[in-house]
Structure 1
Amino acid sequence: MSSQVEMLNTVYSAKLECILKRTHATGTAAIDRAESIYSNNIYLHQSLVEHTVKSINEVWELQGEPRNTYQVYLHSFQFLSYLNNGYEVTKNIKYLTRIKEVILGWLNYNNKENSQFIWYDFSVANRTIVITHFLYLCEQAQFELDDAFKILLFNSLLQHGDFLCEENNYIDNNHGLMMDRALLQLSLFFKNTYKFDEWYNKSLYRINQQLQDSFTNDYINVENSPEYHYHTYLLFEELSNFLVLNKIEVTDKKFQSTLDKVFNNHLEMLNQNQSYPLIGDTTEKTFPGNGFKGNSIVFPDSGLAILKTNNSYLTIKSGYINTSHKHYDDISFTFSYKGVNLFIDSGKYNYNNKDPLRQYIISAYAHNGIVVDGENYSINKENANKAKITSYVISEHVDKIELINNLYQGVEITRNLLFIKPNVLIIFDEMISNENHNYSLIFNVDTNAEMRFIEKGMFGFCVNDSGTSVVLDQSLIPDNVIYSYGKKDDRSIRGFRSIKFGELNPCHNVEFIYKDRKSCECITHITVSNNSEEDESELKACEIIEVNKKTVVLFIKVNKQSIIYSITKTDVSEVMKLEGTDINREGDVIRLEIKGVGNDLEYACYILINNKIMEKFKYQDSPIFNYEITSKGSLTMWTFVRSKKNNTYKIIDKENPSINI
């Protein structure tokens, strides 16, 4: 026994300059939480039920929903971490005494039970962090632990370390990083034991590997969720500080610069409300004080595009590297305007994949994409290259993203999304197969919206008190339209999203169904307007002039300019632009100059006095027209610009200023 105690004494007296923690409560919040837990109110997480026990021995029999999550957090010693925080603030030994009592009870409980939740990667890693944090505080406080407890704890920590080190227990996601952090910290407590080299070297090797594997080449976390991007960043950032202060070197010399790029992309993902879209397993959380980055950005390796203006925020994604936290959301988009959520994603709800509500939340029906034959598709690493961003163009007025989702067996789906800034989306969808299928276009609209009308191929809604209204128009009339709002019965679940963990909210779900077809081509036109204030940046008009397999020709009117764009797979270019008309009077002659921009243009003009057409000037090469005044009144004009090569490329402006003559 003496050799074990002596070895444990070296563990107990370990000197660290910095310690990793499970929770970071400070100030009065830490005191209030610690006092409540000390009084036997077992708090684990804001989304989990808080229980009160008569005796601390009852803790390990507690149950809560979701069951798996509750048990994992319970056996992670989450509540004991708050007692650690309480001691840090108050230096009151009673918190350390209570922690010791609870750990002793758990050690006895663990000897009798073999729960899957006790020996699970997440719970073992975080329990190790809490226990080593406790030992660190005991050393600082000179809080004596008796020999019998030391032996029990020492043997348990050996078991924890071996579990964390064993490759068969390791998982290549943020849980693996948690295991590496815990193993590294534990190894420093075992520095003078035979386990140190194995644990220390294994943890550092895997940490370096995790830094490479956790993020794509464009520095987005691979776990398919903005929330896990930031969560993984925090795990690494805290670890970086731990490494520096404890004078531990890592082989990756770009460790901190990589984290800086990851953090910058966290900022890129924030919308105008300083929160994330609920993509993948993400819950609502705000990050105030960071500011909004208003320029569009594409992360092709991650399959994520974020298209932005000062007032608009749109995401569209397709593709994955890791299946962790992956939803059936390929080619799905979200859209908010002036901070108002319009087309939404479904969020997380919980992690119980046997729960029918969770199954719906991750399903293709809960995302703004395309469903084939009413089913989800297969998600595995082998098929990852079948969903991706294939091309993109970012420009001043128009962004274009092309994506594919070929994960449905025998079906190829291509989506081209045009974002005509700041308030119009045009989506071109093409589904191709050698066999007949039912194709469904799915649109999920925010809970706070009020549906104004739903027709075949068209619907409109407004968001109360925001002045925002939306009209969606589908070029191909569907065979059937299904509308759902919070529907839950024995046959189906439809029309839900989750903002907070464990909570479900109804939302609007619209399905356009195209039945029994081998192929299908659809154009969806979405126009957003806000009547609360005049906004010159909003499009006044948007029209498709021509569309074929290679090119889309588009007319827009914005900020007193009329523009025709030619949009290809790799380029957005101006065909022509009308910037207005200059009017000058020289005696009895009105001189007009149409301000057109482009190659091989010709111009025409109608003169109106008191809204009556007085003279029509035919198309000519010169943009200058002279009109001799013959009567008095209010003079205005209609101006025309067109391409000589293709007369269908034409701009007409009937909103020129008037002058009195």
Structure 2
Amino acid sequence: MFDNIFPVKLKNNDELIDKLLNKKILFNKNFGDIHYGENIWECGPQENRTWKWFLNSFLFLDPLLAEGMGEESYQIVLSWWERFKFSSLSDDFPWHDHATALRLDRLCRLALNLQFKESLVEIAVFHARALMREDFYSKHTNHGFDQSLSLMLVALVFSDHEEAEGWCETGFNRLVGEIGFAFTEEGVHVENSPAYHFGMIGNMVRARNLLKISNSFKYDFDAFFDKALYFLAWITRPDRFIAYIGDSASYRPSLAKELLDLPSASAVQWVATAGKAGEEPRNNFVVFEKSGYAIYRSSWRPEVNQTHIIMKSGFLSKYHRQDDDLNILIHAYGEDWLIDSGLYNHNQRDPIRIYMRSVKAHNVPYIPGVSMDRVNCSKDFSFVKEVNEPGFLCAFEGSTNMYKEGVVRRRVMIRDENEIKIKDIFLGFDDKEKFWLFHFPKDKIIKFEEGKIFVVGKNKRLVIKTSDVDVRMKKRVGSDDKFPSFESKTANVVTDSQVVVVGPSKNNDVIFDLVFENTN
């Protein structure tokens, strides 16, 4: 009945269980092996929020639960309850809003074993009542989405409880609101990250499965799913990784079997398998105007070059927001060129995390002394739209109020897979010096000759020149004092990258020409 609700059994379950029970080791892909000794709840890097979230959400119990090891799971749950049951709900941990919902999911899975259900009533009810509180509900976030699902799940598992009907009704009503907010009309998740878009598709599958089990509420998910899959196909790079934009890490797209009959599923199959399955998408250019993305892909066929260009400019949610409006990424000829910084971690006090979110971590203009606006999100705050530019295959223009003192507009014109023109216009910054930042992977060789930037890759070189012939150009690497450059494709792992800094310039209308050339 609940087979499609909980995490599936993994191939390495036996290894994880052996580590957990016999070697007193918790394994997490981002932290490796963590010894927990006598007190599992105090182990590991307690100063790291991602670790505490992992620990307090009970994610490490999934292998035990998948194998039906109820007694072992119950003893761990009981030790947590004895340790934290008198902690205030205002404590960030263990009562983190998202971790609480995920923890309740694991309690419900354990309670399906009737041997433990009665013993878990007190703990489950306490969690459900916490999630019912409006001041605990993280409305219009991916956390709130999972909180809504958890309320519906606990109502199903503990259906004989007198409060179960209220849990289910509240969970469903919140879920409808979460779906309406979480996705634009184009089916794109609003939380500023393609990785979270992919994750939310999985959550939507789970929501649909829960509604089928409840048989009490109806909601048509398919229209959302099809649009969400369409965007997923476009945002997936030619190397089959989802684009590293904002709080994203390394993910490759996959399809739940429940979605295979949707029209856009074949496009996701195509990009996920490099054309070995599915159907080749037809177009080479799309703008998701209501969502803040413009994407060009020169080809979908794996045997030829695929130049993939993305510009993001949209601020529809404060969650996972980075100062990355007008950011441009380029993947071409089988390698990265213009790159983004990534997630790194969720510790907002970590200096590297602070950098990752900042304007300096992205391929955008930088204006010293001008602060960034991370508060006033709306569809009019920033956007991107298709424009007509004679002589070019396609063109799009983004606009943002991210820079508090004025408006910056960026027009990107694509002549073909090798030639791109970028035009930046500044409104309200007449007396301000501007810099432009272009981030590249560490493996690129960067040279400056005759006022041009030469970026040498494996098979091609990218030549960049600017209309401001008097502007200076300089390369910075890694932890530079003024212009650092890092990238992170895995949580808590950071590597040096390099940034070309162009400027300063007081011009309010500047053009960059980017051309791929053969290296020989």
TM-score between both structures, scaled by the size of structure 1: 0.70
CA shift at 1:241, angstroms?
Answer: 2.2
Percent identity reads 20
Equivalent residue number for residue 147 of structure 2: 179
SS of the residue corresponding to residue 234 of structure 2 reads helix
> Cα 1:371–1:342, aligned 2, differ >3 Å: closer, same or farther?
same
Which has more radius of gyration? 1
> Cα 1:481–1:240, aligned 2, differ >3 Å: closer, same or farther?
same
SS of the residue corresponding to residue 494 of structure 1 reads coil
Are the equivalent residues in 1 in contact too, given 2:35–2:43 (CA < 8 A)?
Answer: no
Are the equivalent residues in 2 in contact too, given 1:459–1:473 (CA < 8 A)?
Answer: yes
CA shift at 1:42, angstroms?
Answer: 3.6
CA shift at 1:101, angstroms?
Answer: 1.0
> Cα 1:479–1:456, aligned 2, differ >3 Å: closer, same or farther?
farther
Equivalent residue number for residue 54 of structure 2: 73
The counterpart of 2:466, out of the listed 467, 471, 474, is: 474
**Are 1:207 and 2:175 matched, yes or no?**
yes
Structure-to-structure mapping, 1:410-425, within 5 angstroms: 410-425=405-420
Task: Measure, in 2, the Cα distance between the counterparts of 1:408 and 1:428.
Answer: 17
**Are 1:165 and 2:137 matched, yes or no?**
no
Structure-to-structure mapping, 1:116-195, within 5 angstroms: 116-136=92-112, 138-139=113-114, 144-145=115-116, 150-151=118-119, 153-171=120-138, 172-195=140-163
Equivalent residue number for residue 348 of structure 1: 343
Give CA deviations for 1:490-518 in whole Å, capped at 9, x if unaligned. x4460111111111111110111234x3x
Give CA deviations for 1:4-61 in whole Å, capped at 9, x if unaligned. xxxxxxxxxxxx554632x3233x4222222222224443530024222344xx1011
Are the equivalent residues in 2 in contact too, given 1:296–1:394 (CA < 8 A)?
Answer: no
Give CA deviations for 1:93-123 in whole Å, capped at 9, x if unaligned. xx21111111111111013544421111111
> Cα 1:113–1:61, aligned 2, differ >3 Å: closer, same or farther?
farther
> Cα 1:369–1:191, aligned 2, differ >3 Å: closer, same or farther?
same
CA shift at 1:65, angstroms?
Answer: 6.7
Task: Measure, in 2, the Cα distance between the counterparts of 1:444 and 1:374.
Answer: 21
Task: Measure, in 2, the Cα distance between the counterparts of 1:498 and 1:333.
Answer: 17
The number of equivalent residue pairs is 488
Give CA deviations for 1:58-89 in whole Å, capped at 9, x if unaligned. 101113276111111101111112211233xx
Structure-to-structure mapping, 1:28-427, within 5 angstroms: 28-43=11-26, 45-55=28-38, 58-64=39-45, 67-87=48-68, 95-111=69-85, 113-114=87-88, 115-136=91-112, 138-139=113-114, 144-145=115-116, 150-151=118-119, 153-171=120-138, 172-250=140-218, 252=219, 254-287=220-253, 288-289=272-273, 291=275, 293=281, 295-310=284-299, 311-373=306-368, 375-382=370-377, 385-393=380-388, 398-427=393-422
Cα root mean square deviation, aligned = 2.3
> Cα 1:432–1:198, aligned 2, differ >3 Å: closer, same or farther?
same
Give CA deviations for 1:214-239 in whole Å, capped at 9, x if unaligned. 11111110011100001011011122
Select the structure with the greater relative contact order (CA < 8 A; seq sep ≥ 6).
2
**Are 1:487 and 2:479 matched, yes or no?**
yes
Task: Measure, in 1, the Cα distance between the counterparts of 2:518 and 2:467.
Answer: 24
Equivalent residue number for residue 263 of structure 2: none
Could you tell me which runs of 5 or more consecutive residues in structure 2 were left unpaired when the two chains were aligned. 254-271, 300-305
Q: Which has the higher strand share?
A: 1
Which amino acid in the other structure matches residue 134 of structure 2? E
Are the equivalent residues in 2 in contact too, given 1:41–1:53 (CA < 8 A)?
Answer: yes
SS of the residue corresponding to residue 243 of structure 1 reads helix
Are the equivalent residues in 2 in contact too, given 1:38–1:83 (CA < 8 A)?
Answer: no
Give CA deviations for 1:187-218 in whole Å, capped at 9, x if unaligned. 11232222112111000111111111111111
Task: Measure, in 2, the Cα distance between the counterparts of 1:212 and 1:442.
Answer: 36
> Cα 1:374–1:423, aligned 2, differ >3 Å: closer, same or farther?
farther
Task: Measure, in 1, the Cα distance between the counterparts of 2:23 and 2:419.
Answer: 55
Which amino acid in the other structure matches residue 78 of structure 1? L
Task: Measure, in 1, the Cα distance between the counterparts of 2:390 and 2:18.
Answer: 57
SS of the residue corresponding to residue 440 of structure 1 reads strand
The counterpart of 2:492, out of the listed 502, 516, 534, is: 502
The counterpart of 2:502, out of the listed 507, 512, 517, is: 512
CA shift at 1:382, angstroms?
Answer: 4.9
Structure-to-structure mapping, 1:555-594, within 5 angstroms: none
CA shift at 1:384, angstroms?
Answer: 5.2
Task: Measure, in 2, the Cα distance between the counterparts of 1:201 and 1:163.
Answer: 16
**Are 1:522 and 2:510 matched, yes or no?**
yes
Equivalent residue number for residue 258 of structure 2: none
Are the equivalent residues in 2 in contact too, given 1:66–1:350 (CA < 8 A)?
Answer: no
> Cα 1:395–1:295, aligned 2, differ >3 Å: closer, same or farther?
farther
> Cα 1:524–1:156, aligned 2, differ >3 Å: closer, same or farther?
same
Which amino acid in the other structure matches residue 360 of structure 1? Y
Structure-to-structure mapping, 1:612-627, within 5 angstroms: none
> Cα 1:42–1:125, aligned 2, differ >3 Å: closer, same or farther?
farther
Task: Measure, in 1, the Cα distance between the counterparts of 2:132 and 2:450.
Answer: 59
SS of the residue corresponding to residue 168 of structure 1 reads coil
Which amino acid in the other structure matches residue 224 of structure 2? T
Could you tell me which runs of 5 or more consecutive residues in structure 1 were left unpaired when the two chains were aligned. 1-15, 88-94, 533-661
Which amino acid in the other structure matches residue 454 of structure 1? F
Task: Measure, in 1, the Cα distance between the counterparts of 2:451 and 2:47.
Answer: 40
Are the equivalent residues in 2 in contact too, given 1:277–1:345 (CA < 8 A)?
Answer: no
> Cα 1:81–1:478, aligned 2, differ >3 Å: closer, same or farther?
farther
The counterpart of 2:5, out of the listed 20, 23, 26, is: 20
Give CA deviations for 1:128-177 in whole Å, capped at 9, x if unaligned. 011111111x13xxxx34xxx945x3222111001111121112211111
Task: Measure, in 1, the Cα distance between the counterparts of 2:430 and 2:381.
Answer: 19
CA shift at 1:450, angstroms?
Answer: 1.3
Task: Measure, in 2, the Cα distance between the counterparts of 1:525 and 1:190.
Answer: 63
Give CA deviations for 1:322-345 in whole Å, capped at 9, x if unaligned. 121111111110111122111111
CA shift at 1:428, angstroms?
Answer: 1.1
CA shift at 1:487, angstroms?
Answer: 2.2
Are the equivalent residues in 1 in contact too, given 2:287–2:385 (CA < 8 A)?
Answer: no
Are the equivalent residues in 2 in contact too, given 1:478–1:514 (CA < 8 A)?
Answer: no
SS of the residue corresponding to residue 63 of structure 1 reads coil
CA shift at 1:529, angstroms?
Answer: 2.5
